[in-house]
Amino acid sequence: MGCHKGRLRQQKKITIPKKKEEFRPRYHRVMVFFFGALAAFFIGAFLYGTLLPFFQMTKYLAAITTGRAQKIHKTDFIFSPYTYAQRVIRYEYLKYLEEQNINKTNLYIFDDAIVKMEELVAIEGSNPYQHIRLGRAFEKKVDILHDQTYFLRAEASYKKAIDLAPQRQETYYAYGLSLVRQNRLKEAIAMLERPPALDPDIPISYFYLGLAQFNLGKDSYIDVLKNLEFFFQRSVDNPDQKISREIYEKLFAYFYQQHDPTRFVIAGERMANLDSENPGLYRQAIAFIKDNSPFPTLEFQGNKLVSVRQ
């Protein structure tokens, strides 16, 4: 009996270590595999989330700063795989091309940029400015192809932008100015007058409204002057120097013809700031009215003031 108990003790001493020896290597293999997979995941995430977009952006900037749109068009790596850098690359690439001289010969590059922007919108789609950029690209195609149907695609993009950001004034401006281009002036004015598009705290909203009203013709010139002056009295910036000068030239000539001294002086003072060639002529003209003298005799070439006589 004593010998039997001794053998049992020996068996316990032998069998327990064997089970531990079998368990530990298996546990170690599982842990090595787990941490190896975890390390691979983080390395992959680092490469995909950091290095890939960095190299995509580097390649894009190297080409775009030297004006090589053709190289960007042919370099698939710049656009694929899709990384977070694409929201900047695709947006800025389309914006760059919109500012270039695109014709039917190189239109395929512009079309490809539009497709890439549409892919971006399909993947993300919540940024209203992406839809505005796409809408402006379609409007450029109207200019290139003289195909009015692209206005419909632009309009769909602007409407989507408004749906996404109904409190953003820029969405209404983009749509409203597109309606002006289509000569849908009453719709454009209604769009630009509705809140939040028209906001006294945002003077540029009055500039765009005045621009739309100007296209209605002379009957709207009093409202045009009022809204443009609201903008210029509150802002040092000028969204478009050339358009502003052309509008004020017409306003100045019109109020001269109407013998409207108050508005004649307001338009003349603004033209003295806008016309870099002959600002003195406008100051000379309005000086007569300020001195309570009769209207001077003005000579115009078109709407451009060329001489002032008493």
Write out pLDDT tens, residues 175-231: 999 999 999 999 999 999 999 999 999 999 999 999 999 999 999 999 999 999 999
Q: Is residue 182 situated within a structural domain?
A: no
Q: How many whole angstroms from its chain centre is CA 175?
A: 13
> Which of 165, 185, 220 is the endpoint of a domain?
165
Q: Which helix (H) or strand (E) holds 37?
A: helix 2-46
Instruction: Reply yes or no on whether the pLDDT at 45 is more than 60.
Output: no
Q: Is residue 41 situated within a structural domain?
A: no
Q: Is residue 215 situated within a structural domain?
A: no
Place of tokens 């002057």: 225
**Residue 127 DSSP one-character state:** -
Q: Is residue 135 situated within a structural domain?
A: yes
- Residue 165's pLDDT is 96
Instruction: Reply yes or no on whether the pLDDT at 284 is more than 70.
Output: yes
Distances (CA, A) of 9 to 14, 19, 72: 9, 16, 79
> Which of 107, 138, 165 is the endpoint of a domain?
165
Q: Is residue 74 situated within a structural domain?
A: yes
Query: Does 61 share its domain with 154?
Result: yes
Rounded mean pLDDT, 106-123? 96
β-pairing, 304-309 vs 297-301, is antiparallel
Instruction: Reply yes or no on whether the pLDDT at 174 is more than 80.
Output: yes
Nearest to 293 by CA among 271, 309, 270: 309
- In whole angstroms, give the CA distance from residue 67 to residue 97: 10
Rounded mean pLDDT, 116-140? 96
Place of tokens 């909203």: 205
CB atoms inside a 10 Å sphere around CB 256: 21
Distances (CA, A) of 7 to 1, 21, 46, 85: 10, 22, 59, 72
**Residue 199 DSSP one-character state:** B
Query: Does 247 share its domain with 160?
Result: no
Residue type, 146: H
Query: Does 258 share its domain with 151?
Result: no
Secondary-structure breakdown of the chain: helix, strand, coil percentages, each rounded to the nearest 5: 75, 5, 25
> What CATH number should be reported for the domain holding residue 159?
1.25.40
Q: Into how many domains does the chain fold? A: 2
Which percentage of the chain shows pLDDT scores above 70?
A: 84
* More confident: 203 or 3: 203
- In whole angstroms, give the CA distance from residue 279 to residue 268: 9
Q: Is residue 277 situated within a structural domain?
A: yes
> Which of 130, 165, 200 is the endpoint of a domain?
165
* Tokens (6 digits) for 242: 């050339």
Q: Is residue 157 situated within a structural domain?
A: yes
Q: Is residue 146 situated within a structural domain?
A: yes
Q: Using alpha carbons only, what angle is made at residue 76 by residues 65 and 46, rounded to the nearest 5 degrees?
A: 90
Instruction: Reply yes or no on whether the pLDDT at 246 is more than 50.
Output: yes
- Residue 255's pLDDT is 97
Its pTM surpasses 0.85: no
- In whole angstroms, give the CA distance from residue 65 to residue 51: 21
Q: Catalogue the E-assigned strands of 102-217.
A: none
- In whole angstroms, give the CA distance from residue 210 to residue 220: 9
Residue type, 230: F
- Residue 30's pLDDT is 55
Instruction: Reply yes or no on whether the pLDDT at 54 is more than 50.
Output: yes
Find the domain containing 88 and state its range.
50-165
